[in-house]
Amino acid sequence: MGNLSGALRLKCPRCEQGELYETKNPYSIGNMFTMKRNCTQCGVRYEKEAGFFYGAMYISYGINMALFVTATIAWYVFVKGYMDWRVYISLYVLITVLLVPITFRYSRSLWLSIMIKFEAEKRGER
């Protein structure tokens, strides 16, 4: 697996310098999901083939399940007596929808870090 710190900073998995997305703001209307084709620093192509990012769906699923389990445990421990479960589910769904741009970006970044080898010597090669 590639370098996790680069993936968490949404940087190129190969050189950790180039940006993955056109804009840093995940809520920028029109550019929420727009990725760069290649790294501006080392030139690596992000999408290797059509359908390359289908694997990122599994990572997104894992992130969402981790959030759901954490939120459910927190509800049972801290809030169960104060809030109806229907309100909890409604709030959880709302928060999940609001987090889609962030989850999308991190799942793709983590997928790239798994699929593309980190090569420190490639920094600034372009």
The DSSP annotation for 35-51 comes to: B-SB-TTT--BS--STT
Please tell me the predicted confidence (pLDDT) of residue 76. Answer: 85
Please report the pLDDT score of residue 80 as a whole number.
78
pLDDT at 31: 86
Which secondary structure element, helix H or strand E, spans residue 93, and what is its range? helix 85-98
User: 45-54, 86-95, 111-120: which range is least confident on average?
Assistant: 111-120
Task: Name the pLDDT band for 121 (thresholds 50, 70, 90).
Answer: low
Q: How many structural domains does the chain have?
A: 1
Q: What is the span of the domain harbouring residue 73?
A: 4-122
Has residue 120 got a pLDDT over 70?
A: no
pLDDT band at 9 (very low <50, low <70, confident <90, very high): very high
Residue 45 scores a pLDDT above 80: yes
